[in-house]
Chains A and B, each alone.
Chain A
Amino acid sequence: MYPELGQLALILALLLSVLLAVVPLAGALTGRDSLQAFARPLASGMFVFTGLAFAILIHAFLVDDFSVAYVANNSNSMLPWYYKFSAVWGGHEGSLLLWILMLTGWTLAVAIFSRRLPSTMVSQVLAVMGMVCVGFFLFIIVTSNPFDRMLPNVPADGQDLNPLLQDIGLIMHPPMLYMGYVGFSVAFAFAIAALINGRLDAAWARWSRPWTTVAWSFLTIGIALGSWWAYYELGWGGWWFWDPVENASLLPWLSGTALMHSLAVTEKRGVFKSWTVLLAIVTFALSLLGTFLVRSGVLTSVHAFASDPERGSFLLMLLGITVVGSLLLYAFRAPVVHVRSRYGSLSREIFLLLNNVLLVSATLLVAIGTLYPLVLDYLDAGKLSIGEPFFNTTFSPLAVATGLLLGAGIFSRWKKTDGGMLARKLLWPLAISLVATAAVMVNYGSFAPWAFAGVFTAIWIAVATLWDLWDKSASRQGRLHGLKRQSRSYWGMVLGHLGVAMVMAGATVVSNYGVERDVRMTPGDSAMVGDYEIVFTDIGERQGANFTAQYGSFNVFLDGKLVTDLHPEKRNYPVGMSVMTEADIDAGLFRDVFVAIGERISDDAWAIRLQYKPLVRWLWLGSLVMAIGGFLAIADKRYRIRVKAEEKQKAQAGNTAPGKPAEASS
């Protein structure tokens, strides 16, 4: 009976979302406060019913209710309870429900944290969120009902969760990723609301910023978790494959990064408004596109859910309505301002504009690489092949250019920057970075142009960021006082940029100086990888909860001293008839040692994959540092003491340049 209740809850949530999309908007357009007052209760109700549906689905998994088709397809009574729990989002229907739960969660968050915003703005933003919700509720109810029953032939047991997904990384990866994807809907809703009421001003940018930043932080963590999971779980030690679905998560991340920076310019200087609002729309559209690519089956990928043309068409329709509607609104309502140049040719505005150009180029590049097979197929223009080489050779120069620009841009000033001053500021960071990069090259013992460029860029970003921190924290009352005086949003920026530097350093070093060896070993053999000696001591068998495994024992020596023991496994899952390689990794801040078991070559000989991965952890640590920076930035005081400032601003509305409402000339 519970599953039927779950379905009912979803239908109720759909009805509430329809009301949310209509009632507050009507109130805002006609100026009736009584209608606008419905916005917050409707948002809460929608969240409660979606939460109820989600809880019921969890319950169905935990009690092994195989009469529910989705449970039977994605779970098994032999699974430990925590994988039964995470199996809830292991397939299309459940993960879509999680997606929607987050969407309603974000809507509720906007309702709760927007008490200081003018009520018409809140009503419009929540109404736009409501419209997005309507689309997705319809999608899940019409095409992907997770509560469908298999009656009367209830299977005795489920088909098991894909063993690849039975892992802690996968318990965490989709929720974080979806938090990011869906979070961009808030920036989107703000952009649409601002276009509707024609107030694309500094206040709009300021309200959008924390939401964008927090969504971006979640997305950063989500992508990093996915990469980490692929690294240890897929068993061959790669961390990024340029798979269409990985690209689908990278696209909104890149344009979201551009959006964060462009929002800063719009808030501080009141320029680039049309551009910023377009980025907000595009970023959310790319999030939807990612959802579409994964769930429609138009591209092949290890991630793809079973393809279903009906779902694909429905999602494309949703995507189409959202994108065409918002871009039409944009075309008619975005301000066409003839800006008198209020900033010089060398200014922070220009640096951030270039940053946006580079990030958007990177977005386009990844989008082209991902979508081009579809386009060529459609045009019958013959078939070309694309893979890692295309992305690596085109993406790296853009990343390096963005990093070099970042280091210089940190020292720039709004409006006008003195070229001589900038050059003098950059001299020392340049010298330090060159020396430090040379030292890194010597340490790893070889030189390659791209390794040099990547490491130099990473160090350049870090040195420039810290140098600027040092400059800014100069204080008569001592350094500590100066450091404390910096705002949280400044610290957020520092951490964000240091995180970028760490990721760049990690990516460059592990790609250029990592060692991979595939060797044939029998127990007793030893092999070298990097400076490490690996001794194969033994191989045995063990029984897991829902698998049997052959597991090897390896001793790892450095300079004759035992560092650690590693126990990689080869697991056999009888239910799904699949074999999984579980690598074992000795993780360290400066290097990983990675051992995986491959094929059995003869009775006692095995193919063993050994890897030495320097700085590979920096990829994920750097992402974490970036995300922490984002969370720190939104904890800034200025987002909390806005009440008074807001009132002041209202009092003098229209007087000063940055606070001036933009005219929607049409």
Chain B
Amino acid sequence: MRRLLLFIPLLIAVGIGVFLFAGIGKDPTKLESARIGKPVPEFQLQDLHDPEHMLDTSVFQGQVSLLNVWAEWCPSCWDEHEYLMHLASNEGVRIVGLNYKDQRETAFSFLGRLGNPYETIIFDPRGSLGFDLGVYGAPETYVIDADGVVLYRHVGVVNERVWQEVLLPVFNQAKGNS
């Protein structure tokens, strides 16, 4: 009987192996989202800069936007921020920020240092909207059309290559439709 117990490590290892195998070939930056093709989930959250002002899904109405999930504690967000600044100021892209599981003060110090590319920032300290969206970790960037429908989800840093090859085609198509 006791010898059977010695097989437990083997079973655990095989179990982990199955998950690892399933992960191969799936580019983790292209995680599927159950949200694609559906509207942004309903939410009622504060504006980062103005706690009195409540935001809801209407922020996405009327214009094609990028929704960028970021936090001060997320190292990669520091990396991509410069490029977001470039997109907002030089390319005229409308970016809505989702400040994710962060604190107001640290978020402000982040923006103070690196600049603010966001037209509006949704403050989501408990990650509730993030949870509904299926956020897997910051940074993530979503393309959202003028009706507030999620068109695309990108996990990881946005840079020149990702923008030109991945996000811009979706973004332009959405603009063409609206």
Query: Nearest Cβ distance between residue B170 and chain A, in whole angstroms?
Result: 20
Q: Restricting to B15-51, which residues have a CB under 8 Å from any CB of A?
A: 16-29, 31
Report if A316 contacts B (CB, 8 A): yes
Residue A468 lies at the interface, judged by CB distance under 8 Å to chain B: no
Q: Pick the contact of A309 from B25, B75, B113, B136 — CB < 8 Å?
A: B25
Other-chain contact of B137, A292, A374, A386 (Cβ < 8 Å):
A386
Give the CA-CA distance A243 to B115 in the complex, in Å.
Answer: 25
Instruction: Please pick, from B9, B130, B137, the residue contacting A282 in the complex, using a CB distance under 8 A.
Output: B9
- With A297-B27, A298-B23, A316-B21 in contact, do A387 and B112 touch (Cβ < 8 Å)? no
Alpha-carbon distance between A241 and B75 when the two chains are bound, in angstroms:
8
Question: Given contacts A302-B76, A387-B101, are A375 and B29 in contact (CB under 8 A)?
Answer: no
Cα(A384)–Cα(B130), bound, Å: 9
The answer, yes or no, to whether B169 is at the interface (CB within 8 Å) is: no
B82 touches A383 (CB 8 A): no
Q: Are B114 and A607 within 8 A (Cβ)?
A: yes
Instruction: Convert B58-100 into 0s and 1s, putting 1 for each residue whose CB lies closer than 8 angstroms to a CB of A.
Output: 0000000000000101111011001001000000000000001
B113 near A598 with CB under 8 A, answer yes
Q: Are A296 and B24 in contact (CB under 8 A)?
A: yes
Q: Is the CB of B78 within 8 A of A330?
A: no
Name the A residues within 8 Å of B21 (CB-CB). Answer: 313, 316
The reply to whether A385 and B113 form a contact with Cβ atoms under 8 Å apart is no
Within the complex, what minimum Cβ distance (angstroms) separates A43 from chain B?
Answer: 29
B109 within 8 A of A: yes
Which residue on chain A has the smallest CB distance to residue B7?
A331
Q: Does B3 count as interface, using CB distance less than 8 angstroms?
A: yes
- C-alpha gap A596/B130 in the complex (Å): 31
Q: Is A300 an interface residue (CB 8 A)?
A: yes
Within 8 A of B (CB), among A386-429: 386-389
Q: How far is the CB of A481 from chain B (nearest CB, A)?
A: 48
CB-defined contacts of A302 to chain B, threshold 8 Å: 75-76, 79
Q: Is A20 an interface residue (CB 8 A)?
A: no
Point out the residue from B10, B14, B20, B73 that lies within 8 Å of A387, measured CB to CB. Answer: B73
What CA separation (Å) do A342 and B34 show in the bound complex?
57
Minimum Cβ distance to chain B for residue A265 (Å): 19
Check B25 against A599 for contact (C-beta < 8 Å). Answer: no
Any chain A CB within 8 A of the CB of B135? Answer: yes
Cβ A599 vs Cβ B9 within 8 A: no
Contacts A383-B134, A387-B101 given: A316-B24 contact, CB under 8 Å?
yes
Q: Does B155 contact A (CB under 8 A)?
A: yes
* Given A324-B10, A331-B7, A387-B137, CB of A238 within 8 Å of CB of B24: no
A296 to B54, CA, bound (A): 43
What is the CA–CA distance of A316 and B25 in the complex, to the nearest angstrom?
12
Chain B residues near A327 (CB-CB < 8 A): 9-10, 13
Give Cα A577 to B160, complex, Å: 10
Known contacts being A378-B22, A384-B131, is A328 close to B10, with CB within 8 Å? Answer: yes
15 A-B pairs whose Cβ atoms sit less than 8 Å apart in the complex: A285-B13, A300-B137, A309-B25, A331-B9, A336-B2, A336-B3, A377-B22, A377-B23, A378-B23, A383-B136, A385-B101, A389-B73, A518-B109, A598-B114, A601-B115
- Nearest 8 A/B pairs, CB to CB: A298-B23, A309-B25, A327-B10, A312-B24, A607-B113, A518-B113, A598-B113, A518-B109
* Apart from A299-B28, A383-B31, A385-B131: 19 A-B pairs, beta carbons within 8 A: A274-B6, A298-B28, A313-B21, A319-B17, A323-B13, A324-B13, A324-B17, A327-B9, A334-B6, A371-B20, A373-B137, A375-B19, A385-B135, A389-B73, A518-B109, A579-B82, A598-B114, A599-B114, A599-B115
